[in-house]
Amino acid sequence: METVRTISDMKLLRQRLAEPVGFVPTMGFLHEGHLSLIRRARSENRHVIVSIFVNPTQFGPEEDFDSYPRDTERDLTLLKQEKADVVFMPEPEKIYPPGACTWVEVEGLTEMLEGISRPGHFRGVATVVTKLFNIIEPTYAYFGQKDAQQARVIRKMAEDLFMNLEIIVCPTIREPDGLAMSSRNFYLKGKERKAALILYKSLQLAQSLWNRGERHAGKIRGEIVSLIESEPLARIGYVSVADTETLQEIEEEIEYEALLSMAVKVGKPRLLDSIVLSGSA
Ligand code: AMP
């Protein structure tokens, strides 16, 4: 496995790699969720490149950029075990050199859900992913459904900008008790870990309402809100039942399918989870 730290070395190395090249962008502190993307990339490509880059521009001024968990040594051991070919770990000053003033804005899709409480977040995500795509030129790039809005935004960006690659979205990996794996679960202390299960319980409730034939978005949203409110350690950011393509909130009957997504603060971390409600009961 090669560890590459500069953009010029990464571009040079890329020229030597045979197609297809799979790329998994991460912010490190790797867990089974990340590893599932890497395994999928491994199974579909000649070469696999993983980036570890805690992207400063996607964090708001009050967010946890400085304290975001990092453990590069452990990450590199895991990546070796997964047989990644290349790890790209650029310095922030190289990705955003002085004077860089070009940003990628995906309109509409970024203005709801996470976009409301995290202004500028998706501008940071779209910009860094574009830069990484331009440096690495992957054939396939792998993202998690865990961050459902992010996956939708990246797919739309790649389509709108005629990017020469395919975006693959992979299922959410969970702890044995259902909590979606996330680097930020590390912040959960004491009773918060159990309280965080309220997100998974909400998804289960939504799925069972759907299976029983409930199609009214407002009814489903209301039931989920009541359930989360019954957990004293949980604070709702939003609970959304939205169109899977436009992410517009659905107010009445769901016609075909819907994305149920939520952000819930439990102690320090703001946790995200989601499920697509689809198919007939
Ligand atoms: P991050 O390091 O948080 O930026 O995540 C890097 C990639 O891993 C993103 O595409 C995430 O959506 C994905 N990811 C994070 N957690 C999970 C999970 N539990 N299951 C599947 N993919 C995940």
Q: What is the mean pLDDT of residues 42-49?
A: 98
| Ligand 1 pocket, mutate which of 32, 34, 200 (most atoms under 8 A from CB) | 34
Length of the chain: 281
- Find the 26 Cα to ligand 1 centroid distance in Å: 7
Give the strand pairing for 258-266 and 2-4: unpaired
Domain ranges of the chain: 2-170, 183-275
Q: Which residues contact 50 (CB under 8 A, 6 or more apart)?
A: 23, 24, 25, 26, 38, 79, 84, 86, 87, 88
What is the architecture of the domain spanning 2-170? Answer: 3-Layer(aba) Sandwich (3.40)
Specify whether 121 is catalytic. no
Q: Any idea which residue has 């090249």 for tokens?
A: 21
Q: Is the CB of 182 under 6 A from ligand 1?
A: yes
b/e string for 100-126 if b means 16 or more Cβ within 10 A? eeeebebeebbebbbbeebebbbbbbb
DSSP assignment of 127-176 equals: HHHHHHHHHH--SEEEEETTSHHHHHHHHHHHHHTT-SSEEEEEPPPB-T
Sheet holding 47-52, edge to edge: 2-4, 86-88, 47-52, 21-26, 140-144, 166-170
Please name the residue whose Cα sits nearest to atom 18 of ligand 1.
33
CA of 253 from ligand 1 middle (Å) equals 31
34 Cβ below 6 A of ligand 1 = yes
Label residue 281 by pLDDT band (50, 70, 90): low
Q: Over the stretch 70-120, which tens digit does the pLDDT of each residue have?
A: 999 999 999 999 999 999 999 999 999 999 999 999 999 999 999 999 999
Interatomic CA distance for residues 90 and 65, integer angstroms = 16
Measure CA of the first residue to CA of the last residue in the chain; give whole Å. Answer: 47
273 lines ligand 1 (CB under 6 A): no
Give the per-residue pLDDT at 280.
80
The residue whose C-alpha atom lies closest to atom 14 belonging to ligand 1 is 144
The widest CA-to-CA distance across the chain, in whole angstroms, is 56
Domain 183-275 has CATH 3.90.850.10: no
Q: Are the CB atoms for 46 and 22 separated by under 8 Å? A: no
Does a cis peptide bond (omega within 30 degrees of 0) precede residue 20?
yes
Quick one: pLDDT at residue 277? 98
The DSSP letter of residue 14 is H
Is 152 a residue whose pLDDT tops 70? yes
* CB 55 less than 6 A from any atom of ligand 1: no
189-247 residue pLDDT tens: 999 999 999 999 999 999 999 999 999 999 999 999 999 999 999 999 999 999 999 99
